[in-house]
Structure 1
Amino acid sequence: MKIIVIGCTHAGTATVTQMAKLYPDADITVYERNDNVSFLSCGIALHVGGVVNNAEQLFYSNPEQLKRLGINTKMRHDVLSINTDRKTVRVRNLVTRETNIDTYDKLVVTTGSWPIIPQMEGIGLDNILLCKNYAHAQTIIQKAESARKIVVVGAGYIGIELVEAFEQLGKQVTLIDNTPRVLFKYLDEPFTDLVETELKTRGVELALGQCVTAFTGENNQVHKVTTTAGQYEADLVILCIGFRPNTALLQDQVEMLPNGAILVDEYMRTSCPDVYAAGDSCAIRFNPTGKHAYIPLATNAVRMGTLVARNLIKPTIKYLGTQGTSGIKIFDYNIASTGMTEQAALDAGMNVKEITINDDYRPDFMPTHEKALLKVVYEEESGRIVGAQVLSKADLTQSINTLSVCIQNNMTMDELGFVDFFFQPHYNKPWNLLNQAGLQAYSTVG
């Protein structure tokens, strides 16, 4: 069996390492256009802020390890086209510039995503940077050393983490986003209000609800960022607007969402026989709605990559779907979310209610205790849980992993009220915060 894998970040690395163990007699070739594999881009802000001093620590595999597993590892090779009818790929060696045709029995597309780059005046100026891979991380650190005023465009996880890192380095930071709140995709207003207050307290300028329209400067260096509401001075601009799937190679050959995300079934199969896909190039089932959605997360990628390997010969293990569960630490706040925010559910036309708990997470008789803000969103008619968020200076983020399981298993709020959670004064109250949310919803229905 001859297997070709295109791309080797999270999904690709998980796929090839598992396939090498499961199919020791297979001929496995991985094509990767970069000179490295498995870079954890979620650690870029930690590297920029000096929490992780050595960027090499952000890799969890390398080409030499893959070669030792018997994988034909082709670094700095760019796949130019795929012919799924003939089962061939055309590949260019980026070092020698030579082009050749390779054949496959099974093809795995783990080409990932790439940052969205808006086409506007000044976008090509030298000190407007992306934040995705190892090279980006090194460039950001190099240019940030001499920058005094830094503009971050995009108030999602990556943008917020970079803002924190730059603020702690003593930079003057402006955060621009076209949504009315930071972390709009992940958190509802009571949570983002606290984050925004913290950012403002630390001197970060928030420019929300406005779109960037142009970048201007001289000597190929940006000096001003123009938006629909004003202008902001900048020595350095980091674009964190979002990501698009890298799927042009399979355009018109497999089924995709309008944004180009490849549709895969529960066994990671595309609509084309013997072609599989995983990671940020894919759309997967979003359990709160039951529909396919584009949710580029490293956790999704490694699960999907592992499942490709398990299901390559025959359907074996189904993908359980995703809740888009994620977490972030911003200054002293530990934050996590899963499923849908209340705003997202309402925008999707769902009839939902919510319960918000704002309480000390453990008994008052303990020498210290912190407030915890917990919100659970659920369908009004059925009580089915569809989303949750937590924020506290205490680390209560694992409660969101618990609620992720609840959503995956279609649990209801009345069931949540009586789940068996332990009590120990160091950690919680006799009625756990999650129990409290379920009980309050139950009493509301009653």
Structure 2
Amino acid sequence: MKVVVIGCTHAGTAAITQMAKLYHDAEITVYERNDNISFLSCGIALHVGGVVQDAGQLFYANPQTLADLGVVTRMRHEVLSVDTVYKTVTVRDLATGETREDTYDKLVITTGSWPIIPQMAGMDLENVLLCKNYAHAQTIIQKAAHAKRIAVVGAGYIGVELVEAFEQLGKQVTLIDSTPRVLFKYLDEAYTALVEEALRARGVELALGQGVTAFEGEAGKVTKVVTTAGEHEADLVILCIGFRPNTDLLKGQVLMLPNGAIVVDEYMRTSCPDVYAAGDSCAIRYNPTGKPAYIPLATNAVRMGTLVARNLIEPTTKYLGTQGTSGLKLFDLNIASTGMTEQAALDAGLNVKSITIEDNFRPEFMPTYDKALLKVVYEADGGRILGAQVLSKADLTQSINTLSVCIQNRMTMEELGFVDFFFQPHYNKPWNLLNQAGLQAYQA
């Protein structure tokens, strides 16, 4: 069996390592256009802020690791085209310019994603940067060392984490987003208000509800971000406005969502026989709605990549879907969310209710007892849990992992009220916050 993998992303690395272990007789070839693999882009802000001194620690694998498994590893090779009828790929060696054709029995698409790049005036100015890979991280650090005013465009996780890193480096920072709140996709208003308060308290300028229309500069370097509401001075701009799937190679050959995300079944199979896909190149089943959605997370990617390997010969292990579970540490706040926010559920036309618990996370007889804010969103009819958010100076983020399992298993608020949780005064109260949420919803 000859397997060709396009893209040594998180999903690709997971698929390759598992295939090499499961199918000793398989001939596995991976084509990767970069000269490195497995970079954890979620660590860029940590590196920029100096928490991670050595960016090399943000790699968890390397080409030699794969070669040692018997994988033919073609770095700096770009796949130019794919023919799913004749099962061929055309590849260019970026070092020599040589082009060749390869064949496959099974094709694995793990081409990942790329930052959305807006088409507007000034995009070609120096110091307007993207934030995705190792090269971007190095450029950001180099440029930030000499910058005084930094504008971050995009108030999602990456943008907010970069803002924190730049602020701690003593920079004047402006956070710009077209949505009216930071972390709009992940948190409801009561939570984003606390995040915004924390940012403003540290001198960060928030320019929310403003769409960027252009960048202006002098002598070829950016000096200003122009928005629908005004102008913001900046000598460095970082774009963090989201990602799009890298799937142009397969357009017209496999089923895709309108944004180009490849649709796969529960065994990671595309609509084309013997073609599999995983990671940021794919749509994924979003359990709160049961519909395909584009949720580019490394956690989803490694699970999907592993399942490609498991299901390559025959379908054996189903994908369980995702809740889009994620977490963030911002200054002294620990934040996590899973599933739908109440706003997202209402926007989707769902009939939902929510419960918010605000309580000290452990007994008041303990020396300290930080406040915790927990919100659970659930169906008005039947009480099925759809989403949850937590915020506290205490690290209660693992409670969101628990609620992710609840959503995945279609549990109700009534059931949550009586789930068995331990009590230990160092960590919680006799009635766990999750129990409290379930009980209050049931009694409402």
Which amino acid in 2 is paired with 1:68?
Answer: D
**Alignment partner of 1:301 is 2:301:** yes
Distance (whole Å) between structure 2 residues aligned to residue 218 and residue 246 of structure 1: 33
Q: Which residue of 1 aligns with 2:184?
A: 184
User: 1:262 is paired with a residue of what secondary structure?
Assistant: coil
Which aligned pairs between 1:142-221 and structure 2 lie closer than 5 A?
142-221=142-221
The C-alpha deviation readout for 1:354-406, integer Å capped at 9, x for no partner, is 00001000010111110000000000001000000000000000000000000
Give TM-score scaled by structure 2 length: 1.00
Letter in 1 for 2:188: D
2:355 is matched with which residue? 355
Deviation at 1:419, TM superposition (A): 0.2
Is 1:96 matched with 2:68? no
- Asked whether 1:273 is paired with 2:273, we answer yes
2-structure distance, mates of 1:149, 1:63: 38
Tell me how far apart the structure 1 counterparts of residues 125 and 72 of structure 2 sit (CA, whole Å).
39
Structure 1: which 4+ aligned runs deviate by more than 3 Å?
A: none
- Structure 2: gaps (5+ residues): none
What is aligned with 1:39?
39
Match of 1:210, as an amino acid? Answer: Q
2:79 corresponds to 1:79: yes
Distance in 2 of aligned mates of 1:392 and 1:240: 26
Match of 1:326 in 2: 326
Q: Deviations over 1:116-152 (max 9, x none)?
A: 0000000111100000000000000000000000000
Letter in 1 for 2:157: Y
Partner of 2:392: 392
Mapped partners of 2:210, 2:25: distance in 1: 56
Q: Deviations over 1:24-82 (max 9, x none)?
A: 11000000000001000000000000000000000000001110100000000000000
Deviation at 1:248, TM superposition (A): 0.3
Indicate the SS of the match to 2:96.
coil
**Could you tell me how far apart the structure 1 residues matched to 2:429 and 2:218 are?**
60
> 2:284 & 2:267 partners in 1: Cα distance?
11
CA drift at 1:235: 0.6
CA distance in 2, matches of 1:220, 1:283: 39
Distance 1:144 1:422 in 2: 46
CA RMSD of aligned residues (A): 0.3
Gaps of 5+ in 1: none
- TM-score, structure 1 length as denominator? 0.99
Alignment partners' CA distance in 2, 1:386 and 1:90: 44
Between the aligned partners of 2:262 and 2:9, the Cα distance in structure 1 is 17
Q: Give the partner amino acid of 1:40.
A: L
Kindly state the Cα deviation for residue 428 of structure 1 after the two structures are TM-superposed. 0.5
Amino acid at match of 2:309: A
Task: Write the distance in 2 (CA, Å) between the matches of 1:9 and 1:371.
Answer: 39
- d(CA) in 1 for partners of 2:149, 2:387: 37
**Cα distance, 1:220 vs structure 2:** 1.4
Q: Helix, strand or coil: the match of 2:283?
A: strand
Partner in structure 2 of residue 311 of structure 1: 311
Partner of 1:366: 366
Mapped to 1, the partners of 2:24 and 2:236 lie a distance apart of 49
How many angstroms apart in 2 are the aligned matches of 1:26 and 1:197? 55
* 1:218 Cα offset (Å): 1.6
Q: Quote the Cα distance in structure 2 between the aligned partners of 1:376 and 1:443.
A: 15
Aligned pair count reads: 444
1:169-195 CA distances to partner (integer Å, 9 max, x unpaired)? 000000000000000000000100000
Q: Give the corresponding residue for 1:61.
A: 61
Please show how residues 117-128 of structure 1 align to structure 2 within 5 Å: 117-128=117-128
SS at match of 2:419: coil
Counterparts of 1:253 and 1:287, CA distance in 2: 27
Q: Which residue identity is paired with 1:233?
A: E
Which residue of structure 1 lines up, in the alignment, with residue 29 of structure 2?
29
- Report the Cα distance in structure 2 between the residues aligned to 1:99 and 1:240, rounded to whole angstroms: 34
Identity, in percent, stands at: 81
Distance in 1 of aligned mates of 2:65 and 2:432 = 45
What letter corresponds to residue 45 of structure 1 in structure 2? A
Distance 2:218 2:31 in 1: 40
Q: Distance in 2 between matches of 1:361 and 1:112?
A: 39
Tell me which residue corresponds to 2:380: 380
Does residue 441 of structure 2 align to residue 441 of structure 1?
Answer: yes
